[in-house]
Amino acid sequence: MSQGLVPSGAPVRIIGDVHGDARAFAHAVATERFVIQLGDLVDYGPDSAAVLTTMFALIDAGRGLFLLGNHDFKLAQVLLGRAVATAPALLATLAALPASMVPRTLDEIAAAPAWVQLGSRVFVHAGFHSAMLEGPPPRPTPIAAGRIDGVLARALYGEPTGRIQADGFPERSLRWVDRIPQGITVYCGHDQRSRDGRPYVRKGRGGGSAVFLDTGAGKGGHLSWIDLPPEG
């Protein structure tokens, strides 16, 4: 169910949210493994343009892909001229992004899958939904849409509670972890659930597990990755 995106039998390196940390990302992709980056390439860190350049080079070489993250999705909406709220981090990304990179950036964000399944492993930016086990995400992604919903919304935003935390970010529930079936492991980012630089692992009531790889890259924390052998 990789839809041909990941070479059959390839060992993979799963990399969490990069958020413009170009130096850490360059170090993380220095591998012979196929790279699956979990989304949110841009914003916050010092050089989102360099991160995009590195990711595009991996794609051109057939050595990696990135999943669609909410920050990537919002960047595309702004580049398409949609009227959306622009936080300081996004404004900084826009200011540093050369005009020559805009067409490629839009093309790659539209082509980025919202999730990928490889056997018992599901890779997604924010949160799992059981429908992800039923088939691939729509492609190209409707990046010009004012909003997305359903399974795509779960993939990009997780499961918001509707409340705002003390840090100003939306509160997000992890109830979806309890709905991961036995034998399935979900690898995701989006929320920084760990402060020690190590991925956070949570076991669900349904028998499945979630591994959170956002450890604060671009926000004063670290960039995390996990190497996985071919499934089989």
The CATH number of residue 124's host domain is 3.60.21.10
Three-state SS at 157: helix
pLDDT confidence bin for 2, thresholds 50/70/90: very low
Domain contains 99: yes
Residue 5 falls inside a structural domain: no
Which residues have C-beta within 8 Å of that of residue 155, sequence separation ≥ 6? Answer: 67, 68, 114, 115, 124, 125, 126, 127, 129, 132, 137
Whether 124 has a pLDDT exceeding 60, the answer reads yes
pLDDT digits (tens, 9 = 90+) for 82-115: 878 788 999 999 999 999 999 999 999 999 999 9
In 3D, which of 101, 94, 87, 6 has the Cα closest to residue 52? Answer: 101
Residues shown for the chain: 232
Residues 161-170: contacts with CB under 8 Å, at least 24 apart? none
Look at residue 152 and tell me if it is in a domain: yes
Residue at 112 is within a domain:
yes
If DSSP codes are grouped into helix, strand and coil, which group holds residue 14? strand
Q: Flag whether 2 is in a domain.
A: no
For the whole model, what pTM was predicted?
0.94
Our count of domains for the chain comes to 1
Distances 101 to 3, 96, 112, 135, 172 between C-alpha atoms, Å: 27, 10, 16, 32, 33
Q: Which residue has the tokens 């067409």?
A: 103
Q: Of 22-26, 43-47, 144-148, 209-213, where does mean pLDDT reach its minimum?
A: 144-148
Burial (0-12, 13-18, 19+ Cβ within 10 Å), 4: exposed
Whether 72 is covered by a domain: the verdict is: yes
What residues make up the domain containing 82?
A: 12-227
| Separation of alpha carbons 108 and 72, rounded Å | 10
* 207 belongs to a structural domain: yes
Closest CA to 210 of 228, 176, 187, 179: 187
Whether 126 is in a domain gets the answer yes
On the question of pLDDT at 148 being above 60, the answer is: yes
Tell me the pLDDT band of 170, cut-offs 50, 70 and 90.
Answer: confident
